[in-house]
Chain A
Amino acid sequence: MAIEKISPDDSKNYNNDDILVVRNLKKYYPVSKFSLFKSRAYVKAVDDVSFTIKRGTTMGLVGESGCGKTTVGRTILRLHEVTDGQVLFDGKDLAKIPPKELRKMRPQMQMIFQDPYSSLSPRMPVGEIIGEAVKEHKIVPKSEYRSYILKVMRDCGLQPHYYYRYPHEFSGGQRQRISIARAVALKPKFIICDEPLSALDVSIQAQIINLMKDLQEQYGYTYLFISHDLSVVKYLSDTIGVMYLGNLIEMGDKNKIFSNPMHPYTKALLSAVPVSDPDVKMNRIILKGDIPSPVNPPSGCKFRTRCPYAMPICAEKAPVFKEYEEGHQVACHLYSQD
């Protein structure tokens, strides 16, 4: 999973195993008006992020709120325009693709949103919510439409008589099932799950996790799973990326990240998860302070203001994102940068 030096347009030497290749993705939001005399200030929500997802696997993206993980997801789907960088989906650069073709690609990549209470239209019955895009993209012939929707609903654990009901009649867990059914109905290859569990109760979370896993086994979906709940990410993902203030600071195989976290932030993050056992006393690393403002991030390494191991060099130079063992990359000055 190393990042090779790449020429701007090399969508040809693309590995068929990789469904999604993100290279140097950047997304800046302007925060001040255009002026002749001052340089424009930007929030660097996503600043130079690169990763690859293999077909049929799950990548977990973790980080605190405001670190840009949701923006990564939305920019990949081009719900926000890309500022710079490449998003190769099945070999096509989504960042540059013309709108008409992008529209044709849309069914292949879907998104499940965080809040099932605001992401479903209150004025549409469930059948229509799930089926609207199916009709639009002509996924199945008209004659099979209804039976297809009912099949999708059954797959997602929804009773057929929910077809004519409205979202307000359902609980949070059921609504999240509807959101999943809506995404799955388009026969996508790739689904971005943006904190799909955080609005749900523990017992319902387990049901949804199992549903997502079953669907993946059955249909071979690829997930990008965005979450701040490390235990869930650990359970679902194959690879994990840790983000901090718009940068990917550590990425690698799940087991490697959890057994041998290298970046001080990852260590702190892992130790902060409460354990459901009163006798286990964690040796906890408690970070001081809050995440800095993304408009004026600290110079050099962005984490240095909260880092227990900060050195003089951290303020001068941003660390390089480098591979230290196979399938484990870190950006930190604690490890040799050569």
Chain B
Amino acid sequence: MGLIDIFKRKKIEGVDDTMYLTLREERRISKENNKIIRKFEREKNRKNVPEEEYLTQMRDPSNVVEFEDLHTYFFTDVGTVKSVNGVSFDIPQGKIVGVVGESGCGKSVTSLSLMQLVQAPQGQIVKGSIRYQDSNGKCYEITKMPKDKMLKIRGKDIAMIFQEPMTSLNPVFKIGEQMDEVVLLHVEGSTPESAKARSIEMLKLVGIAMPEKVYNSYPHELSGGMRQRVMIAMALSCDPRLIIADEPTTALDVTIQAQILELLRDVKNRINGSIMLITHDLGVIAEMADYVVVMYAGRIIEKGTVREIFHDPKHPYTIGLMRSKPTGETRDNRLYSIKGQVPNPINMPDHCYFYNRCDKAMNVCSRDYPDMVDFSSTHCAACHLYYGEGLQEQNKGKE
């Protein structure tokens, strides 16, 4: 079989996974996007929004944050990317919620939506709600909140620690200046002196040996672990109720990772806050989290307490993820691997997104997207294996 034949066959079967657009199509899409984006932006940029519009009630008052049916889309010139496509979960007070998933599954975009930091104007929260409860018991609807009000929450009540400590610190300002800025902005009646005292106290809290020296140094003078400590100190300086840690240890070595995780846990207990821990490392999740949310291609496929997820995973993707991590026992056994790769985010299929990669795929899986099935009050998974037609098919297979 010559090479030409291979090309021909592939074209006919339509197996080709890449998408090519003509210029005209691209222009049409971009025009449509502009229309949609303008509508959202107009809504966001209104001035003097009355408070009633974004005050709401929590479903459960013991939660700090509730996501409900959140949809965050990116309107790009090649099509709409549904980064977050119907995500709902809660972050209870004083708990650590771990979000796992591969790169591009929407875990970071979920957290950015909560901070109102999604790359606008392309990225927009299209649907759904994010409810946040502050320390006085007031509930806010983050998706409807005007920008100027959000400034009071972002960085103060909800703080974020980013993956790359090098790129998230400004290289031309001293550590001290950057830390003071946070305090001066958010703590009422703070003076430069009190801000400095606060910053140094925070640096001490995160276990930096010479806080005065670090206070006066530039980011490049510190090592990766130190920088991440500074980031954590900065996040803590306003006593946040929720810390979003977006892959806080991915750029660090194992020994430093152990230090940082220990620190995060310690800090959480001290301020009695919650942590939303985003990572792709199952080991980190197992160690840190109370609740786990597993995401795949913009949707939650399984969630539960850490024990339920690790001891009794239900969704084939979760099971696959657990098995594909080498435990190192035997080298002769082949490592289990999930075949294929994540589908193209622009043309998501109607059926289960995991269908093409799943070992247990059935006929019903190629028809519609599975519903969430509850296994306990906390544990649920979206898979056809556990209900209705799929379950019957399974049982038939066994007989």
Contacts and interface: CB of A to CB of B under 8 A. Distances in A.
12 contacts: A64-B255, A65-B253, A171-B342, A203-B337, A204-B102, A213-B335, A274-B283, A275-B287, A278-B311, A279-B311, A286-B258, A291-B223
Contact of B306 (A64, A230, A272, A278): A278
Given A160-B3, A206-B325, 18 more contacts: A65-B224, A65-B253, A201-B103, A202-B281, A202-B324, A203-B338, A204-B341, A206-B326, A210-B337, A235-B335, A272-B254, A272-B255, A272-B257, A274-B257, A277-B310, A278-B306, A284-B258, A287-B258
B286 interface: yes
Nearest to A173: B341
B12 interface: no
Interface in B212-263: 223-226, 253-259, 261-262
Interface of B: 3, 6-7, 10, 16, 18, 102-103, 209, 223-226, 253-259, 261-262, 280-284, 286-287, 306-307, 310-311, 320-322, 324-328, 331, 334-339, 341-342
A243 B251 CA distance: 19
Contacts of A146: 3
**What are the 4 A-B residue pairs with the smallest beta carbon separation, nearest first?**
A274-B283, A234-B328, A235-B326, A206-B337
Contact of A278 (B209, B262, B310): B310
B341 A235 contact: no
A248 B262 CA distance: 28
B223 A231 contact: no
Chief secondary structure at chain A's binding surface = helix
Contact of A276 (B3, B224, B280, B283): B283
B356 to A, nearest CB: 13
A124 B299 CA distance: 36
Nearest to B324: A206
A140 interface: no
Given A210-B334, A230-B254, A290-B225, A202 B325 contact: yes
Contacts of A258: 328
A213 B102 CA distance: 23
Nearest to A265: B255
Contacts of B326: 206, 209, 231-232, 234-236
Interface of A: 64-65, 146, 150, 160-161, 163, 165, 169, 171-174, 201-207, 209-210, 213, 228, 230-232, 234-236, 258, 268-269, 271-279, 284, 286-287, 289-291
A240 B310 CA distance: 30
Nearest to A203: B338
A315 to B, nearest CB: 20
Given A275-B283, A290-B225, A268 B102 contact: no
A209 B335 contact: yes
Nearest to B310: A278
Contacts of A206: 324-326, 335-338
A235 B323 CA distance: 13
Contact of B255 (A169, A234, A269): A269
A269 B258 CA distance: 10
Contact of B102 (A201, A210, A235, A271): A201
Contacts of B256: 64, 290
Contacts of A291: 223
